């Protein structure tokens, strides 16, 4: 089988199929008479003219007026087909018209044609007729076909067009031709993650890296379990009285301007609570994926999906303590009950636990609130995502604003401290 360069009867021609572009003509409009004389000489040339409106048509200010309002856009009404492969972006569909032609004066037989796309990671066969070859391609004839492929990788791509055929001298020949192009990223996505108590806020900034405007059809965030999502958008109920009928439509158009234009989106993610009111702890810090659908100025579609967006690694407590109930009035040296909720945020049993209050005095003085009765309370095993309440009897020894602190949950068997209750301020009244 021969593959000697320059000795082939066939040749490939490849044209990318995509939407045409608008031909913009912003040339300076001049009058041909300006080439032979100046503006001051125009009247001398038209003094003996029989046309009444020649003087008006040749005046300078008339030539500066637009003949048609659309001329101000510089659009000539002509559509331009792509002359090269142009810019090919990740998420777009690469579509090409491939023609293999016989440029000799003799026929070729048993023509098998194959088109494959090679990237740094894989090789994809887009078309293959080698198993069912064409009987012949006549002299001066051609065989045409169209290939399509969704661009899913960045970097260099090579379109390989292969023809295997029998020449007029019964020699079997092999013809490969290579067409290379680069796939770049049309959009860059930057994210910021913020935590406010048990709620996660995700801000996504989408930047346009192309030279043309992009219109976002849909920006969807697919949350990872167990999160639920809410899209936060500005309130547009208050409308200006001077807004036209199309103002609502224009507000819905999500335009990302060319050469670095940006668009921002804000999402609120919350983890569901169990029947006991305990938030489920996510297995990983993955928040979810963004899916972007867009169109170019002439409607060519594109689609991208990001990798998993990771949140800030926040340690989750296996067991948490919270004050569930406080008395409405606390009187000096009168016992009062504080109800503390003990929550298991894991998927396995924990316990037994010891709920106790520290007996040590704070660095700045003596404790103003102490235990009245038992120092330690035992909580049996907590079921997965379970919760239970315990009542602590306390007494205040000083008036004013005081803090309830030092309450902690400790594993009875190994002495591991799971959580310490955050200090809570209360007001102690005199009798």
Q: With bands split at pLDDT 50, 70 and 90, how would you rate the model's confidence at 323?
A: confident
Percent of the chain predicted with pLDDT > 90: 23
Domain for residue 346, yes or no?
yes
Q: Is 284 part of any domain?
A: yes
pLDDT on residue 85: 72
Question: Are 358 and 380 members of one domain?
Answer: yes
Residue 334 has pLDDT above 70, yes or no: yes
Domain boundary residue, one of 310, 328, 363: 310
Per residue in 119-166, pLDDT (tens digit) is 999 999 999 998 999 999 999 899 999 999 999 999 999 999 999 999
% of the chain exceeding 70 in pLDDT: 77
- Grade residue 314 by pLDDT with cuts at 50, 70 and 90: low
- Same domain as 328, residue 368: yes
Give the residue from 178, 180, 163 showing the smallest Cα distance to 8: 163
Does 369 share its domain with 273? no
Q: What is the pLDDT of residue 242?
A: 55
**Cβ count within 10 A of residue 223:** 19
Q: What is the pLDDT of residue 178?
A: 93
- Report whether pLDDT(89) > 70: yes
Is residue 60 helix, strand or coil?
A: helix
pLDDT bracket for residue 368 (50, 70, 90) = confident
In a domain, residue 259? The reply is: yes
pLDDT on residue 282:
57
Whether residues 377 and 404 share a domain: the answer is yes
Q: Is residue 1 part of a domain?
A: no
Q: Do 326 and 230 share a structural domain?
A: no
Specify whether 26 is located in the same domain as 75: yes
Report d(CA 271, CA 314) in Å as an integer.
Answer: 14
Q: How far apart are CA 181 and CA 15, in angstroms?
A: 13
Are 129 and 163 members of one domain?
A: yes
* Among 11-25, 135-149, 198-212, 279-293, the least confident range: 279-293
Tell me, yes or no, whether 331 lies in a domain: yes
Decide which of 309 and 361 is more confident: 309
Give me the chain's average pLDDT, please.
79
Domain edge (last residue) among 310, 342, 359: 310
Work out the average pLDDT over 166-194: 90
Q: How far apart are CA 331 and CA 336, in angstroms?
A: 8
Mean pLDDT to the nearest integer, 97-123: 92
Spatial separation of the C-alpha atoms in residues 163 and 397, rounded to whole Å? 96
The reply to whether 416 falls in a domain is yes
Under the banding of pLDDT at 50, 70 and 90, the label for residue 431 is: confident
Specify the CATH number for the domain of residue 129: 2.60.40.10
Same domain, 371 and 306: no
Instruction: Look at residue 51 in the predicted model and tell me its pLDDT.
Output: 46
- Of the residues 30, 53, 80, which one is the last residue of a structural domain? 80
Same domain, 199 and 297: yes
pLDDT(205) > 90: yes
The predicted structure's pLDDT at residue 145: 94
- 2 lies in some domain: no
State pLDDT tens for residues 45-84.
555 555 445 445 545 445 555 566 555 566 667 777 777 7
Global pTM reads 0.60
Domain hosting 171: range is 10-17+83-184
Q: Say how far residue 373 (Cα) sits from the centre of its chain.
A: 59
Distance from C-alpha of 367 to C-alpha of 296, rounded to nearest angstrom:
69
Distances in whole angstroms, Cα of residue 208 to Cα of each of 94, 154, 213, 250, 425: 20, 16, 8, 19, 51
d(CA 136, CA 143): 10
More confident call, 111 vs 402: 111
Of 403 and 173, the one with more pLDDT: 173
| Residue 121 sits in the same domain as residue 48 | no
CATH label of the domain that carries residue 295: 2.60.40.1230
Q: Is the pLDDT of residue 276 over 50?
A: no
Predicted local confidence at residue 143, as pLDDT: 93
Reported as a single tens digit per residue, the pLDDT across 227-259 is 888 888 876 555 555 555 555 555 667 888 988
Hey, is 92 helix, strand or coil?
A: coil
Residues 192 and 287 in one domain: yes
Where helices occur in 110-226 by DSSP H, the ranges are none
pLDDT higher than 50, residue 1? no
**Mean pLDDT, range 342-352, rounded to an integer:** 81
Do 386 and 370 lie in one domain? The reply is yes
Q: What is the pLDDT of residue 198?
A: 73
State the total domains in the chain: 4
In a domain, 218, yes or no: yes
């Amino acid at each position: 089988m021969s593959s000697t360069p320059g000795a082939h009867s066939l040749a490939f021609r490849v044209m990318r199929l995509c939407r045409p572009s608008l031909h913009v003509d912003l040339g300076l409009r001049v009058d041909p008479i300006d080439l032979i004389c100046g503006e001051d000489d125009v009247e001398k040339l038209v003094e003996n003219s029989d046309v009444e409106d020649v003087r008006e048509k040749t005046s300078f200010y008339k030539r500066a007026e637009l003949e048609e309002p659309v001329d101000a856009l510089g659009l000539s009404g002509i559509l331009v087909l792509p002359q090269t492969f142009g810019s090919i972006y990740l998420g777009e569909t690469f579509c090409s018209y491939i023609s293999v032609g016989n440029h000799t004066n003799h026929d070729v037989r048993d023509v098998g044609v194959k088109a494959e796309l090679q990237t740094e990671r894989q090789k994809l066969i887009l078309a293959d007729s080698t198993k069912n070859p064409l009987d012949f391609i006549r002299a001066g004839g051609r065989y045409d076909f169209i290939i399509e492929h969704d661009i899913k990788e960045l970097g260099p791509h090579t379109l390989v067009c292969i023809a295997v055929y029998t020449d007029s001298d019964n020699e079997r020949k092999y013809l490969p031709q290579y067409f290379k192009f680069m796939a770049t990223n049309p959009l860059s996505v930057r994210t910021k993650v913020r935590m406010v108590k048990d709620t996660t806020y995700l801000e996504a900034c989408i930047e346009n890296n192309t030279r043309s405007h992009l219109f976002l059809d849909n920006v969807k965030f697919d949350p990872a379990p167990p999160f639920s999502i809410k899209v936060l958008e500005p309130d547009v109920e208050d409308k200006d009285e001077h807004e036209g009928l199309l103002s609502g439509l224009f507000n819905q158009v999500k335009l990302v301007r060319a050469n670095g234009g940006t668009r921002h989106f804000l999402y609120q993610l919350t983890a569901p609570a169990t029947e006991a009111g305990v938030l489920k702890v996510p297995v990983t810090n993955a928040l979810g994926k963004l899916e972007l659908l867009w169109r170019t100025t002439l409607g060519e579609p594109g689609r991208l999906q990001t990798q998993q967006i990771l949140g800030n690694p926040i340690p989750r407590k296996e067991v948490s303590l919270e004050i569930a109930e406080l008395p409405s009035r606390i009187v000096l040296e009168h016992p009062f009950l504080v109800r503390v909720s003990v929550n298991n945020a894991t998927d396995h049993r924990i316990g037994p636990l010891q709920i106790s209050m520290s007996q040590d005095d704070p660095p700045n003085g003596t404790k103003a609130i102490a235990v009245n009765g038992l120092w330690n309370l035992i909580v049996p095993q907590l079921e997965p995502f379970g919760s239970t309440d315990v009542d602590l009897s306390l007494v205040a020894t000083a008036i004013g604003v005081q803090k309830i602190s030092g309450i902690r949950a400790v594993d009875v068997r190994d002495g591991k401290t799971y959580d310490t209750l955050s200090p809570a301020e209360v007001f102690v009244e005199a009798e």
